């Protein structure tokens, strides 16, 4: 409906590509009808996932930059839709990335200067929130940086959009990256040696090893992501302008559509992927070369030891929730191949009993007395902290002993 050059669109869900196509069609229809602004009724928004939210944010940014007014009305206060910030993505800066709160479930607008900071913040939060299978964390770390940075290699835009989400019920992570630039197909014709005839052909080239739209040899980002997805049993979908490419355990499919053409010069590009948290991945095998783990090296001393200073752990040492995040954080290093961790309690004046049990106690229970001592070394504890940690270990190991001893003899 158009009233005084203002169109109204009722948004019901942003769960995936079909919702994005429908939204883009509504904006283009409003524009062609003579409207110079669009009001989006968000009173009845249901499912919101990264694959819907991120490209819509990119599309809105483009039309606003072209002078079209796009506003939201009737957003339920405190709703998940409000939290996601589609109407006003959060700009990633060194300051905003340090602010309290989660980096997940929010659409971020980022520039080439903040790719590293945004990647690091998201990765470190994920390391605290969940436990990854062997190699998954390192593979994700590499892929996420490469794909976020890839926006600036093909789009001719200064801003990309990003969102990450945890799905604990399925033990999967979902990510979406989008821009409103020139599109992957047209990027191959800007200074590159490749001339793919269709948008779908361009996408098949983009995931090939060593191929980039700039013609250099840096083209391993999408190729590596494709390999990780295939090794992990995850899902990858790349859409750009008229083309789409899907990779999953069911195989590879793709073709040409008209779903993401914003204008003759702007073809929205979206990279959606999800990973199984606990299915191992060998990134070195995927890429065919040994990989340098910069995150692990950052905590490594000249003597080859890896130390975590507990005083630097931002979640504190009081609650079980903080303890669970620390335990996941520690396991992210163990599962990436660190032989053992030194846990330095210097300047940690106290820990609660529940914190001690949820971190050190559960780790001791998991690995057993010998395994725990091989993987973790505790240093610089004051007398009270040592007493609480010793007690947590003793209670967990004792409880495990009695549980095992009560099991029926099957010999």
Of residues 399, 402, 316, the one with CA closest to residue 359: 316
Q: Show which of 263, 287, 311 is a domain's final residue.
A: 287
| Residue 283: closest CA among 225, 333, 326 | 225
Tracing tokens 């409880």 back to the chain, one arrives at 399
Burial 119-141 (b: 16+ CB within 10 A, else e): bbbbbbbbbbbbbbbebbbbbbb
Work out how many domains the chain is built from and give that number. 2
Are 125 and 332 contacting, i.e. CB atoms less than 8 angstroms apart? no
* 190-223 pLDDT tens trace: 766 788 999 999 999 989 887 655 544 455 789 9
The DSSP string of 126-195 is HHHHSPPPTTHHHHHHHHHHHHHHHHHHHS--S-EEEEEEEETTTTEEEEEEEE-SS-HHHHTTSS-S--
Give the three-state DSSP class for 344.
strand
In a shared domain, residues 37 and 185:
yes
Q: CA 68, CA 317: separation in Å to the nearest integer? A: 50
Residues 28 and 113 occupy one common structural domain: yes
For residue 175, give the nearest of 276, 51, 259 by alpha carbon: 51
Dihedral of CA atoms 325, 328, 330, 335 in degrees, nearest 10, equals: -170
Do residues 196 and 227 both lie within one domain?
yes
Domain at 31, CATH number: 3.30.565.10
3-state secondary structure of 350: coil
Residue 350: CB atoms within 10 Å:
11
Same domain, 250 and 308: no
Cα 159 from Cα 151, distance rounded (Å): 8
- Asked whether residue 46 falls in the same domain as residue 193, the answer is yes
Per-residue pLDDT at 217? 46
User: Is residue 283, in this structure, part of any structural domain at all?
Assistant: yes
User: Does 226 fall in a domain?
Assistant: yes
By the 8 A CB rule, do 181 and 175 touch?
no
Do 396 and 275 lie in one domain? The reply is: no
> Do the domain assignments include residue 75?
yes
Contact yes or no for 170/49 (Cβ under 8 A) = no
Give the model's pLDDT for residue 408: 57
- Distance, in Å, from the CA atom of 193 to the CA atom of 328, rounded to the nearest integer, reads 45
**Three-class DSSP category at 46:** coil
Give the domain CATH number at 381. 3.30.750
Regarding whether 202 and 58 lie in a shared domain, the answer is: yes
d(CA 221, CA 208): 9
Q: d(Cα 220, Cα 131) in Å, to the nearest integer?
A: 27
The range of the structural domain enclosing residue 265 comes to 2-287
| 292 SS3 class | coil
- Residue 127 near residue 105, CB atoms below 8 Å: no
- Pair 280, 308 in one domain: no
CB neighbour list of residue 360: distance below 8 Å, 6 or more residues apart: 376, 378, 389, 392, 393
Distance CA 333, CA 203 (A): 34
Q: Is residue 400 part of a domain?
A: yes
Residue 410 lies in a domain: no
Ranges of the chain whose pLDDT falls below 70: 1-4, 191-192, 211-219, 314, 401-411
- pLDDT computed for residue 181 by the predictor: 94
pTM: 0.87
Domain end marker among 246, 268, 287 = 287
Last residue of a domain, one of 238, 255, 287: 287
Q: Do 271 and 340 reside in the same domain of the chain?
A: no
């Amino acid at each position: 409906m158009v009233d005084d050059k203002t169109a109204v669109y009722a948004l019901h869900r942003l769960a995936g590509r079909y919702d994005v196509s429908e939204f883009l069609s509504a904006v283009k229809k409003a524009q062609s009808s003579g409207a110079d602004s669009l009001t989006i009724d968000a009173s009845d928004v249901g499912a919101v996932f990264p694959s819907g939210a991120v490209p819509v944010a990119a599309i809105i940014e483009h039309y606003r930059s072209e002078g079209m007014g796009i506003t939201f009305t009737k957003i339920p206060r405190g709703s998940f839709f409000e939290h996601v910030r589609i109407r006003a993505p959060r700009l990633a800066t060194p300051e905003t990335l340090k602010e309290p709160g989660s980096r997940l479930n929010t659409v971020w607008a980022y520039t080439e200067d903040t790719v590293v900071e945004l990647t690091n913040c998201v990765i470190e939060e994920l390391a605290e929130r969940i436990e990854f299978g062997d190699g998954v964390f390192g593979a994700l770390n590499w892929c996420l940086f490469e794909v976020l940075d890839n926006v600036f290699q093909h789009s001719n835009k200064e801003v990309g959009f990003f969102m990450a989400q945890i799905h604990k019920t399925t033990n999967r992570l979902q990510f979406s990256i989008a821009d409103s630039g020139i599109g992957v197909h047209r990027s191959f014709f800007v200074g590159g040696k490749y001339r793919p005839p269709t948008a779908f052909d361009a996408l098949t080239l983009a995931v090939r090893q060593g191929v980039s739209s700039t013609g250099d040899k840096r083209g391993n980002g999408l190729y590596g992501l494709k390999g990780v997805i295939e090794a992990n049993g995850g899902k990858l979908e790349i859409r750009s302008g008229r083309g789409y490419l899907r990779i999953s355990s069911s195989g590879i499919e793709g073709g040409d559509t008209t779903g993401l053409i914003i204008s003759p010069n702007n073809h929205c590009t979206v990279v959606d992927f999800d990973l199984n948290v606990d299915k191992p991945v060998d990134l070195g095998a995927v890429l065919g070369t040994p990989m340098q783990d910069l995150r692990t090296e950052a905590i490594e001393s000249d003597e080859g030891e890896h130390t975590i200073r507990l005083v630097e752990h931002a979640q504190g040492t009081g609650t079980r929730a903080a303890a669970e995040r620390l335990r996941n954080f520690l396991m992210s290093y163990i599962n990436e191949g660190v032989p053992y961790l030194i846990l330095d309690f210097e300047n940690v004046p106290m820990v609660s009993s529940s914190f001690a049990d949820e971190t050190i106690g559960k780790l001791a229970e998991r690995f057993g007395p010998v395994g725990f001592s091989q993987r973790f070394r505790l240093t610089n504890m004051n007398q009270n902290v040592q007493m609480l940690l010793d007690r947590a270990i003793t209670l967990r190991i004792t409880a495990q002993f009695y549980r095992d001893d009560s099991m029926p003899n099957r010999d």
